[in-house]
């Protein structure tokens, strides 16, 4: 989301919004102000908080409004030079700009989970999806020991947006590997040195990913982003640090990869999928 916000913030401010439409069913989660309040308005900026995107606009009357956007896992925001076909079934939100250009929120797959909210400043200040977010994991997260002081495993704590905002599953594996910590180590069981190593790994891994995006992601913004992973979903391949074969634990809808040598003192963790089948 960081790179999406940066790219859009580089071109949208000052641009006029001709009209907004929502072909997606129930994609707009607010009704006051109505979506057409931003027709004829002007983009003023694009920012990010956690995995949420904040598209700032001023209405034709100069009223500031924010289009809060959550792409969930299958949504993409792209800025096209031409308008899309109205038959494009992936279209959820269309923001039409002059000269036929269009900022389009598309969502792939059958689940329609992405959403937008159009909020006045007072409603934005009270918006729960923002207010419940933990501090940003990048670029300068606070000291981790107090944040993670909970009996939950690190792999679950780190992707909990209310604990720390902005880390997805993919990067949790990369961060824990970089910090040489077991995904199942409890948050309240971290030594001071481990908590500091984790913080450093978090900043370094997320910084490296953003550097790759900076280099490779350009407008109109891709459908598929590069995934500069070294560990996540690399099970069976050699650990980039010690060359031990990486292992994985499979869950219903994702995989958690780790190095048994660097992270779990040689232990191979139980595969939850397998143990469920054997029950
Ligand atoms: Zn290793």
pLDDT value for 101: 96
Paired residues of 258 in beta bridges: 247
Q: Cβ contacts of residue 277 below 8 Å, gap of 6+?
A: none
pLDDT value for 276: 52
Cα distance between residue 225 and residue 11, in whole Å:
20
Paired residues of 80 in beta bridges: 102
List per-block mean pLDDT (blocks of 10 residues) for the chain, which spans 279 residues.
96 97 91 97 97 97 97 93 87 95 92 94 98 97 96 96 94 98 96 97 97 95 92 96 95 91 90 54
pLDDT value for 111: 83
Ligand 1 centroid–CA 138 distance in Å is: 25
- C-beta of residue 69 within 8 angstroms of C-beta of residue 88: no
pLDDT value for 229: 96
pLDDT value for 271: 67
Burial of 137 per CB tally in 10 Å (0-12, 13-18, 19+) = buried
Ligand 1 centroid–CA 210 distance in Å is: 24
Q: Which of 16, 9, 24, 5 is nearest to 93 (CA)?
A: 24
The reported pTM is: 0.90
Q: Please tell me whether the peptide bond between 33 and the residue prior to it is cis, using omega within 30 degrees of 0.
A: yes
pLDDT value for 279: 43
What's the residue count for the chain? 279
Ligand 1 centroid–CA 233 distance in Å is: 14
Ligand 1 centroid–CA 270 distance in Å is: 18
């Amino acid at each position: 989301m960081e790179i999406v916000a940066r790219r859009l913030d580089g071109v949208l401010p000052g641009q006029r919004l001709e009209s907004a439409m929502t072909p997606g069913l129930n994609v707009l989660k607010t009704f006051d102000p109505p979506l057409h309040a931003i027709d004829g308005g002007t983009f003023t900026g694009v920012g990010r908080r956690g995995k949420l995107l904040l598209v700032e606009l001023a209405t034709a009357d100069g009223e500031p409004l924010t289009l809060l956007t959550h792409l969930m896992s299958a949504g993409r925001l792209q800025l096209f030079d031409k308008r899309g076909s109205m038959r494009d079934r992936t279209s959820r939100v269309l923001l039409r700009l002059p000269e036929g250009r269009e900022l389009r929120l598309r969502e792939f797959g059958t689940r329609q989970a992405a959403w937008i909210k159009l909020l006045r400043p007072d409603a934005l200040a009270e918006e729960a999806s923002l207010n419940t977010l933990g501090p940003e994991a990048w670029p300068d997260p606070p000291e981790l020991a107090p944040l993670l002081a909970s009996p939950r495993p690190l792999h679950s704590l780190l992707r909990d947006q209310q604990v720390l905002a902005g880390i997805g599953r993919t990067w949790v594996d990369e961060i824990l590997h970089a910090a040489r910590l077991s995904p199942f180590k409890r948050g309240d069981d971290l030594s001071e040195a481990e908590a500091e190593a984790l913080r450093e790994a978090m900043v370094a891994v997320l910084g490296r990913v953003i550097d790759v995006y900076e280099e490779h992601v350009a407008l109109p913004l891709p459908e598929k982003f590069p995934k500069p992973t070294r560990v996540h979903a690399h099970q069976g391949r050699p650990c980039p640090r010690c060359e031990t074969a990486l292992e994985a634990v499979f869950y219903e809808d994702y995989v958690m990869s780790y190095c048994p040598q660097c992270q779990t003192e040689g232990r191979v963790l139980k595969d939850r999928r397998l143990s469920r089948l054997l029950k």
